[in-house]
Amino acid sequence: MLTIRDLTSDDVAGVVAAVQRDQRIAHRRNRFVNGALDRDELTEALARRRARTWIARDGDRLVGHLTATSLSESSRGPSAWISPDAVSFDRPTTLARLYAEAGEQWISDGVLEHVAWVYDRPDAREPWLDLNFAVMFRRGSRALNTPRETRLPSGYEGRWASLDDLDLAVALTKVIDEAEARGPSFVAEAPLDRDELAATLEDPDTMYYVVEHAGEAVAQCIAFPLLPVRGAYPRTLHLSAVVVQREHRGRGVATAMLNDVLTGARNRGFDYVDVTWRTANSAAAAFWTAYGLTPTYVRLRRLVDRR
Ligand SMILES: CC(C)(COP(=O)(O)OP(=O)(O)OC[C@H]1O[C@@H](n2cnc3c(N)ncnc32)[C@H](O)[C@@H]1OP(=O)(O)O)[C@@H](O)C(=O)NCCC(=O)NCCS
């Protein structure tokens, strides 16, 4: 019989083993998920964890766990963030039972936005979709060991840019928000934080690249090292704020620009590239697929109705 209860110190080793098993499976099925796991670090993190963690047991077998970190990132109030190692389950019904308990607690704490990063595989994703979660973002990766031909269309010129180009970065990043405000994304425009963008460009690890046409900047890419997160390889470059001005799209500008950026990244010692895109941004989804990224994770979200 399935029972749900709070984690005790006796459960920690079982949870670590479940997370490790899931990560190994994820790596076997998708080489872009790093299978390496620091068991001691995870054991310590679980032991130190202040957030409540629920455990599912079937008799004396541990068959699942669920926990979340509370974040206040959106105007909607706090959200519960479930990372890939914050959950395991043997069957969809186990996840449903765990979420029933955990969700009840989060909701009574006023946390109505529930977000989960899960492996982008049907068996990992679908039990969540049945619980009314929806896919919001997809993450994908590519190795940098395959050199690519670099050729911007004639009339276009690429260059490395810097904090001196902050006004440009602000203007071009705004174009992404404008594109995503339209359908099919329909995203409420988030106010662009100029100081945050300045801090990113100021960082010596940031790579900022701009493409010009007739003396005007028409495309950009901002890239920086991906923070060490579970499932990502070290020396992974994160691409952010990739955009081409509307009237210059469909000519191969983004493809050639990224080839320049990734050649630069390879020369700096990066092995992989990682991108997150909004699944409803159909141009971005088609572009990243065409560019050869292999999906690794999806970010799911459920907004619970106020009672
Ligand atoms: C996504 C974006 C950067 C692509 O720029 P681009 O210069 O038009 O892309 P390319 O011309 O290099 O396209 C390469 C391939 O991607 C695919 N692609 C690009 N845009 C596409 C679209 N709108 N619909 C379908 N496929 C598309 C195609 O396969 C294309 O190859 P093809 O032209 O031979 O068919 C551009 O549409 C853009 O700036 N969009 C708004 C901002 C944005 O959403 N950025 C991404 C944030 S994650």
Question: What spacing in Å lies between the alpha carbon of 285 and ligand 1's midpoint?
Answer: 8
Digit-coded pLDDT (tens) for 160-219 = 999 999 999 999 999 999 999 999 999 987 778 999 999 999 999 999 999 999 999 999
| Percent residues over pLDDT 70 in the chain | 98
| Predicted local distance difference test score (pLDDT) of residue 24 | 96
| Rounded Cα gap, residues 302 and 265, in angstroms | 36
| Rounded Cα gap, residues 35 and 24, in angstroms | 5
Q: Which fold has domain 2-132?
A: Aminopeptidase (3.40.630)
Determine the average pLDDT of the residues in 64-90: 91
- Averaged pLDDT of the chain: 94
More confident residue, 111 or 76: 111
Q: Please choose, from the candidates 100, 35, 22, the residue with its C-alpha nearest in 3D space to the C-alpha of residue 63.
A: 22
Residue-range domain boundaries for the chain: 2-132, 143-295
Instruction: Decide whether 2-132 matches 143-295 in CATH topology.
Output: yes
| Predicted local distance difference test score (pLDDT) of residue 147 | 64
| Predicted local distance difference test score (pLDDT) of residue 259 | 94
Determine the average pLDDT of the residues in 93-103: 98
Determine the average pLDDT of the residues in 235-257: 97
Q: Return the best residue to mutate from 175, 209, 281, 287 for the ligand 1 pocket (most ligand atoms within 8 A of CB).
A: 287
Across 75-79, 102-106, 258-262, least confident range: 75-79
Question: Which residues sit with their C-beta closer than 6 Å to ligand 1?
Answer: 176, 179, 242-244, 249-255, 277, 281, 283-284, 286-287, 290
| Predicted local distance difference test score (pLDDT) of residue 274 | 97
Determine the average pLDDT of the residues in 11-37: 96
Question: What spacing in Å lies between the alpha carbon of 7 and ligand 1's midpoint?
Answer: 47
| Predicted local distance difference test score (pLDDT) of residue 190 | 76
- Whole-structure pTM value: 0.95
Question: What spacing in Å lies between the alpha carbon of 287 and ligand 1's midpoint?
Answer: 4
Determine the average pLDDT of the residues in 230-254: 96
CATH superfamily of 143-295: Gcn5-related N-acetyltransferase (GNAT) (3.40.630.30)
